[in-house]
Amino acid sequence: MKPRGPAYGLWFDALMALPLALYGGLLLLLVGSLFLRITPESLRIAFQDRALLNAIWLSMWSTMLSTLLSVLVAVPAGYFLSRKHFRGYFLVDTIIDMPIVLPPLVLGLCVLIFFRTALGHYVDRQLIIDLGHLFNTQLVEPGRGLFIFERPGIILVQFVVGGAFAVRVIKAGFDEFEPRYEEIALTLGATRTQALFLVVLPNVMPSLVAGAVISWARIFGLFGPIILVAGTMRNHTEIMPTTIFLETSIGRLDVALVIGAGMILISVVMLTIFKRLGGKGYLW
């Protein structure tokens, strides 16, 4: 039996539940309005358009890859920031938090300007050519780069924005886990690596999943910075958020509604999966 909360009285509980009911009702009203506007004809048009299906596929795999990269970076970074305090810690911690407080469009502008510097131009244009010469092959077509108006540019922007959220959430999980359990494992003969993988990570798994959820959610809906860096070219760098913008701008609102509804459904399914992996007791 689940523990019951303290009995404060019916009127108090109703007063506390009222904001929840109002906010939840507002969300249902907004989402329901979108779904009610979708027609069978708009569904047919959307799913017969190969470019739209490619945009959905690109959104899914780019978001998953960027989330994976964010978590892979956030685990060691969050652990180090949680266990080590060093000179300049505040500065490093503040820099990591910048993508959280800065508007995504500003971060996209920073990425775009970086690729206009000498180093950025080399990374985007010349590096891939040099690697092709090293392996005696041509990795990209002449005149094309690696990031600007290319799919890796989408991954880069998504990672820059989502990585900070993953680091912050996962670090909080490491902060809550007592270091003495690691010390006990070390006294029993475990190495630092064994203590991390066998003792720490299994106990902070909900925080790892939460970090992935927050990162995925932030990445999936990115629009502004991706437009700046990768553009939105059909069958190449178009993703679902930019599809909504394009379809709305040319007057195909019905198709934009289908894509928006698809994003809502995908988000709900992914959130449910993440919560299940995180061991939430209220999911079946």
- Here the CATH number for the domain that contains residue 121 is 1.10.3720.10
- For position 7, what pLDDT does the model report? 56
Instruction: Find out whether 81 and 96 touch, Cβ atoms under 8 Å.
Output: yes
> Could you list the residue range(s) of the whole structural domain that residue 209 is in?
48-277
13 is a domain residue:
no
Separation CA 157–CA 231 (nearest Å): 12
Kindly state whether residue 35 falls inside one of the protein's structural domains. Answer: no
Residue 138: the pLDDT is: 64
The answer to the question of residue 16 being in a domain is: no
Q: Name residue, tokens 């092959």.
A: 137
Asked whether residue 250 is assigned to any structural domain, the reply reads yes
Residue 224 counted as domain residue:
yes
Position 206: which residue type? P
77 lies in some domain: yes
Decide if 31 is inside a domain: no
Q: What is the pLDDT along the chain (284 residues), one digit of tens a residue?
A: 455 555 567 888 888 889 999 999 999 999 999 998 888 888 888 888 888 889 999 999 999 999 999 999 999 999 999 988 889 899 999 999 999 999 989 999 999 999 999 998 888 888 777 776 676 666 666 667 788 899 999 999 999 999 999 999 999 999 998 888 888 888 888 888 888 888 899 999 888 988 998 999 899 989 989 999 988 888 889 999 999 998 888 888 888 999 999 999 988 888 887 777 665 543 33
Please give the pLDDT value at position 236: 87
For the chain, list the strands marked E by DSSP.
Answer: none
Q: Is residue 1 part of a domain?
A: no
CA 217 vs CA 54, 66, 151, 224: distances in Å? 20, 11, 19, 15
Buried residues in 81-117 as b, exposed as e (16+ CB within 10 A): bbeeeeeeeeeeeeebeebeeeebeebbbbbbeebee
pTM across the whole model: 0.85
What total of structural domains would you count in the chain?
1
- Per-residue confidence (pLDDT) for residue 25, from 0 to 100: 94
Check residue 78 and give its pLDDT.
Answer: 94
